[in-house]
Structure 1
Amino acid sequence: ALTWWNSHVRIVGNDAADVMTWIELKKKMADTYCPRNEMKKIESEFWNLEVQEESDRVERYIGGLPDSIHGSVTASKPKTMQEATEMTTGLMDKKICTYAERQAANKRKFEDTSRNNQGQQQPPKRQDVAREYAAGSGSRPLCPKCNFNHDGPCTPRCYKCNKIGHLSHDCRSPTNANVAKNLRGNGAGQKVTCYKCGAQGHFK
């Protein structure tokens, strides 16, 4: 091709060769190296290509099948092209149906899960409720004892000693101290103390 091009440039000149379009170049090269009569011979040979033996046709057909069904068709050992194509069609139909059923099942499962999640809202945590309560009362002063916004004196109730005026983490009640001491177990024969009434012998 390079020899032909150099010869063509010498004949028509550099200026004429430079302005030649790609289509014109392809046509000139095809006329030189691929004359129409030779192309017709090749086309005729191609169309007349045939696999003579039925077994060879079946083998080539199976060789071009996808991996998902290739093994099954090979194991069935079809003798004719009709058997091979029928087996292939049946397997492909089954694969498609199975895939469609699996997709539908996954969709139903996803929809059920979404529906259940919407119907079962998680209750807000205690800390979140307290935070929202405090944030929603911004017009009232913040109490340093209970950390809530409210007017008037703070009257928190301790759930350990059941007294008003402090919270459980600030409780210094002797009853509360006895409970903690008993829970640590300082001796096998030590009596337990009730954290409600303060009497010994029971917890509550």
Structure 2
Amino acid sequence: MALPWDEVKSLMTEEFFPRNEVKKLQAEFWDLAQDSGESLAYTTRFHELSLLVSHMVTPLSRCIEKYIGGLPRQIQDTVLGRNPDAIRLSATLTDNHVKAGTLT
């Protein structure tokens, strides 16, 4: 039986991804923020959750806003002007602030 991919995806989601678990992941993603200087851990978890609850990061502009919104305030201001390089720039800035002692 041939089914379109969207239908297969929908059926599998209903079977193996209960709604209460989706709600938990959405709540975690909504509250996701970078703690201190852990930019790699934040970026990794952001990517994991964005795959699981992809509707929360579609379109790309929403994804970028969510990523930047979870960064520390010291980093957000600088990153906002350079969206295409947000992940790389935020990691560099976080490392710099940790080394300078302005972010723990």
Larger radius of gyration: 1
Larger helix share, 1 or 2: 2
Larger relative CO (CA 8 A, sep 6+): 1 or 2?
2
TM-score (norm 1): 0.25
